[in-house]
Amino acid sequence: MTAQDKATPGNLIFDYDQANTGHVHTDEDGIKDQFPERDCLPLPNVSEMQVIRHYTELSRKNYGIDTGIYPLGSCTMKYNPRVNEDMARLPGFAGMHPHAPPSHAQGALEVMWELQEALKEITGMDAFSLQPAAGSQGELLGVMIAKRYFADMGERRTRIIIPDSAHGTNPATAATCRFQTVTVRSDERGNMDLDGFRQAIGDDVAVVMITNPNTLGFYEEHLQEITDLSRKHGTLLYCDGANMNAMLGISKPAEQGFDMMHLNLHKTFSTPHGGGGPGGGALGVRSFLEEYLPVPRVVRNDSGHTFDLDYNHEKSVGRVHSFYGNFGIMLRALAYIKSWGSDIVNVSETALLNANYLLGLIRGSFDVPYDRRCAHEFVVSTRRFGEKSALNIAKRMIDYGLHPPTVYFPLIVKEALMIEPTETESKETLDRLAGALAYIANEMNQNPDILDGAPHTTAIGRLDEVMAARRLDLRWRPPKG
Amino acid sequence: MNYIPHTREHVSEMLTAIGCRTVDELVPGQVPRAARLDLGDPMSEMEVVSYIESLAAKNAQTKCFAGGGSYDHYIPSAIGHIVLRGEFLTAYTPYQAEASQGVLQALYEYQSYICLLTGMDVSNASLYDGASALAEAVLLAHSYTKRRSVFVDGGLNPAYLQVLRTYCEGADIFISDAINDDVACVIQQTPAFDGSIKDPTHMAEKAHRNGSLFISCISDPTSLAIMRPPGEAGADIVTGEGQSFGIPKSFGGPCLGFMAVRSALTKKLPGRIVGATQDGSGRRGFVLTLQAREQFIRRERATSNITTNQTLLALSATIYLALLGRTGLRSVAHTSYRRAHRLQQMLHTRGFRTITPGPFYNEFLVETPRPAADILERLQRCGILGGIAVDDRRLLICCTEKNTIPDMETYAREASMQ
């Protein structure tokens, strides 16, 4: 049953007419005949308590990091500190209108400026834009900047190189900006294949997009050669920063040779994922690309104490957000970075430790396609259990109160489980997760039927996705009559 | 603060299990190592609170008469209590439906509300914000019609136009100054940036006669409580900004982009879509559906590159609409309308000529008798954000149900003082 189904008259929560100026009626106000009015507003009227009960009930059917380990690979589901929620809800920030004059928004502008400075220090990039609302929009902005940059240079470049282990957003972004995608396969160690890269690179390649560490959970070992070759051809090097949780204080993407990168503030800097957003997709660039960043840009005045919005950049690609980006997310990320300070290197070191420890615990239960030490995440294959085994194992994990990892990604590993434990999980939790996976692997051998129908303990069983796509039911409709 | 649970003993046990002496050994030699980051000393929770509160104190808290895409509607208390529940707050995209029925059902309800309000057939599960939602709609229209330009009717929020230009440059789409046979879609914002309410019927017919799609862009969707839904006036796509529905202004983000289409365009929609289905025992449940449109399956042939959207804000909007209901939302719209017209009359008698043509909703543009900046400065000293200075002598003013009559009287008095 949805809230709409519960529609009953009466019990109204809000009636501003009565509360404020109840004596004035619509007709007397002259709204009628002023513009085409709607004759029916089919929304339910329910009481506040009904609403609270309904959504409390729904929340109990949902699993979050607060419920237990949530090891989705490449999603960095770490603990979300609660104090940051309080900070984002301070009236002095939550109540700020984006058109408040900069002189009256100094605190908000300082938050943005401070965050930009911290991200520059962490990544080695020279300038940041905080406008992108999520990683994929950061990528899009990066590719738009590359397109404009080459247009300014009078060069027509048509291709973007992307390894076959990349997130789907990379090729989708390239296509949105009308570039042709060239896929380079991975080598036997899980790196981008150097021979393949040599064949693909050329003077018509605008950008090489690399996720580092890549989605197999490995630091790219040939970055130096890739950088050298890219420079030779004038190609820009883009870092998809989805896996930055493996590099805080360990290595700076700019020093690895990247010209641009986006960060996912909701991954690396612990802002809550919200069931699928909001996120934050800050884009960092080296100085030669800075003038292309979107406007307005947050700047510090010469005095060093006041901040302003600067709209005056002739070469800027324009704008990608209605205002300045997901400010509330920036605020949480800044609070998180400040809480760690220079010790933030502990985050990545522990993420590496946890991932390698967990990999050691479960490598006996599954196949490990690339036998290397991993960074902050790793990929195993369940192919020894046959087709659909990764799906079945994932669903069975729900029965044991665990959120499944990312499944069937990266595409180059058959029956893939992509596991990212993050630094905030304890040794006990990792031991328990490994124990459950070993138990399920054993079930797979002894009693595979039980996995076919999993999960068995949830309020609802395995849902028919094929039926969902064939017989589309995408909304509630009011009953006729 | 330290959010890592390990004891020193745990760390050494884990290192031993891995076969390393230090964590450093886990990083391959090829990775160039960074010098120690210069990010200051770690702060305790108490220090973080004190630091962030000191920044908040540098912002002026004012009574808000500004709109322009961000609206100061009242936010019911119950919303915050629900969206802070960890099961919603700390989940991610519901890839595993059986462990995510709560957020999936809430998004199904959200899609239903958006359809009911706009009069459209199908809604997606949210986009970033109003401006990029409009840009995504243009990409959709281009992909559907295979035409390469777009016509924008006057009255579009200038920031939205700027975002549209940026996306169009990336996608090789042109902004046309006439409705010609290469126009994929015609865009009209209502209420327009100057607040005026336009009847979209005429523009929709013009677009359709030309074989173009008609996109209706909604700035403050509380207006939909009293306006004829764009779906009934011939819109093919409705996009907009949902921040009005229970989402704090928060210096412009996060906000909530929405998009709804008529059913023929369903498979061209960008972003997540939730659908109802059944489990093996015939029980009703919800899943992400039509995923073959999306980047993680379709890669370079996806309808959009969007991945993470604004789910928690879509949840806020859903709870807002459930709490207010039919009567509450109409009340918000009527009161906002009435307050804006009352203030407009007060200002009119004091020499502020209204420039917004025809009927308006809760925003109006005035010509100021003195420089707009001076007026805003004076109001600011009285704790009032008086609107948006569109240029030297024009001010865009907005009212919601939160603006009281005494505050409006103060506004009118102070604004007209020399």
CB contact under 8 A, A107 and B102: no
Do B313 and B331 sit in the same domain of this protein?
no
Do A34 and A123 sit in the same domain of this protein?
no
Q: How far apart are CA B76 and CA B79, in angstroms?
A: 6
Model pLDDT, residue A13: 38
User: Chain B closest CA to A445's CA: distance in Å?
Assistant: 24
Edge-first strand order for the sheet with B174-176 is B122-123, B257-261, B237-241, B213-218, B183-189, B149-152, B174-176
CA atoms within 13 A on the CB side of A1: 10
Do B225 and B346 sit in the same domain of this protein?
no
CB contact under 8 A, B102 and A60: yes
Do A170 and A314 sit in the same domain of this protein?
yes
CB contact under 8 A, B87 and A63: yes
Domain count, chain A: 3
- B43 inside domain: no
From B271, B297, B317, give the residue that closes a domain.
B317
CB contact under 8 A, A464 and B279: yes
Phi, psi of B364 (to 5 degrees): -150, 155
- B308 inside domain: yes
- Chain A positions touching B226 (Cβ under 8 A) are 31, 37-38
Question: In DSSP terms, which residues pair with B365 in a beta bridge?
Answer: B396
Is the reported ipTM for this assembly greater than 0.95?
yes
Nearest residue of chain B to residue A340 (CA atoms): B42
Do A250 and A277 sit in the same domain of this protein?
yes
From A299, A319, A342, give the residue that closes a domain.
A342
| CATH number, residue B385 | 3.90.1150.10
CB contact under 8 A, B289 and A468: yes
Do A40 and A173 sit in the same domain of this protein?
no
Do A317 and A402 sit in the same domain of this protein?
no
User: Chain A closest CA to B313's CA: distance in Å?
Assistant: 7
Nearest residue of chain A to residue B124 (CA atoms): A474
- A158 inside domain: yes
Do B127 and B242 sit in the same domain of this protein?
yes
Question: In DSSP terms, which residues pair with A283 in a beta bridge?
Answer: A129, A262
CB contact under 8 A, A107 and B57: yes
Instruction: Give the helix ranges, DSSP H, for B146-281.
Output: 158-171, 201-209
- B204 inside domain: yes
Residue B334, helix vs strand vs coil: helix
Tokens of B41: 């000393």
Do A209 and A232 sit in the same domain of this protein?
yes
Place of tokens 């002095």: A92
| CATH number, residue A402 | 3.90.1150.10
From A297, A320, A342, give the residue that closes a domain.
A342
Do A284 and A360 sit in the same domain of this protein?
no
- A77 inside domain: no
- B47 inside domain: no
Helix or strand holding residue B214 (H, E): strand B213-218
- B287 inside domain: yes
Do B254 and B139 sit in the same domain of this protein?
yes
| CATH number, residue A138 | 3.40.640.10
Of A276, A354, A455, the CB nearest to B92: A276
- Chain A positions touching B142 (Cβ under 8 A) are none
Cα dihedral across residues A269, A270, A272, A273: positive or negative? positive
DSSP A84-128: HHHHHT-HHHHT--TTS-GGGBHHHHHHHHHHHHHHHHHH--SEE
DSSP B336-368: HHHHHHHHHHHHHTTT-EE-S-S-BSSEEEEE-
Q: What is the pTM of this model?
A: 0.96
In tens, the pLDDT along A324-361 reads 999 999 999 999 999 999 999 999 999 999 999 999 99
| CATH number, residue B301 | 3.40.640.10
- A40 inside domain: yes
- B25 inside domain: no
Do A196 and A302 sit in the same domain of this protein?
yes
CB contact under 8 A, A31 and B125: no
- Chain A positions touching B59 (Cβ under 8 A) are 92-93, 96, 100, 104-108
In tens, the pLDDT along A356-401 reads 999 999 999 999 999 899 999 999 999 999 999 999 999 999 999 9
Per the omega criterion (within 30 degrees of 0), is the bond before B371 cis? no
CB contact under 8 A, A474 and B325: no
Helix or strand holding residue A160 (H, E): strand A159-163
CB contact under 8 A, A59 and B85: yes
Mean pLDDT score of chain A, rounded to an integer? 92
Residue A299, helix vs strand vs coil: strand
- Full domain range(s) for residue A44: 4-59
Do B158 and B305 sit in the same domain of this protein?
yes
Model pLDDT, residue A28: 44
Cα dihedral across residues A370, A373, A377, A383: positive or negative? positive
- Full domain range(s) for residue B114: 77-317
Do A338 and A349 sit in the same domain of this protein?
no
Do B311 and B351 sit in the same domain of this protein?
no
Do B184 and B305 sit in the same domain of this protein?
yes
Phi, psi of B91 (to 5 degrees): -85, 170
Tokens of A408: 């069937």
Domain count, chain B: 2
Phi, psi of A185 (to 5 degrees): -75, 165
User: Chain B closest CA to A439's CA: distance in Å?
Assistant: 20
Q: How far apart are CA B349 and CA B339, in angstroms?
A: 16
CB contact at 8 A, A101 and A107: no
Question: In DSSP terms, which residues pair with B227 in a beta bridge?
Answer: A37
Do B88 and B145 sit in the same domain of this protein?
yes
Do B145 and B251 sit in the same domain of this protein?
yes
What is the mean pLDDT for each group of 10 consecutive residues in chain A (481 residues)?
Answer: 44 39 42 73 87 94 96 96 97 97 97 98 98 97 98 97 95 96 96 97 98 96 97 98 98 98 97 96 98 97 94 97 98 98 97 98 95 96 96 96 96 96 98 97 92 92 95 87 54
- B261 inside domain: yes
From B300, B317, B334, give the residue that closes a domain.
B317
Do B90 and B237 sit in the same domain of this protein?
yes
Nearest residue of chain A to residue B276 (CA atoms): A473
Interface test with A, best of B12, B250, B266 (most A CBs within 10 A): B250
Q: How far apart are CA A454 and CA A423, in angstroms?
A: 29
Do A249 and A113 sit in the same domain of this protein?
yes
Do A370 and A273 sit in the same domain of this protein?
no
From B317, B349, B381, give the residue that closes a domain.
B317
Nearest residue of chain A to residue B313 (CA atoms): A278
Tokens of A150: 């080459």
Do B233 and B115 sit in the same domain of this protein?
yes
Interface test with B, best of A34, A43, A159 (most B CBs within 10 A): A43
- Chain A positions touching B335 (Cβ under 8 A) are 16-17, 20-21
- A121 inside domain: yes
CB contact under 8 A, B325 and A100: no
Do B114 and B195 sit in the same domain of this protein?
yes
Do A225 and A300 sit in the same domain of this protein?
yes
- Sorted by sequence, the CB contacts under 8 Å of residue A343 that are 6+ apart come out as B2, B42
- State which residues of chain B have pLDDT below 70: 1
- B146 inside domain: yes
CB contact under 8 A, B122 and A474: yes
Question: In DSSP terms, which residues pair with B185 in a beta bridge?
Answer: B150, B213
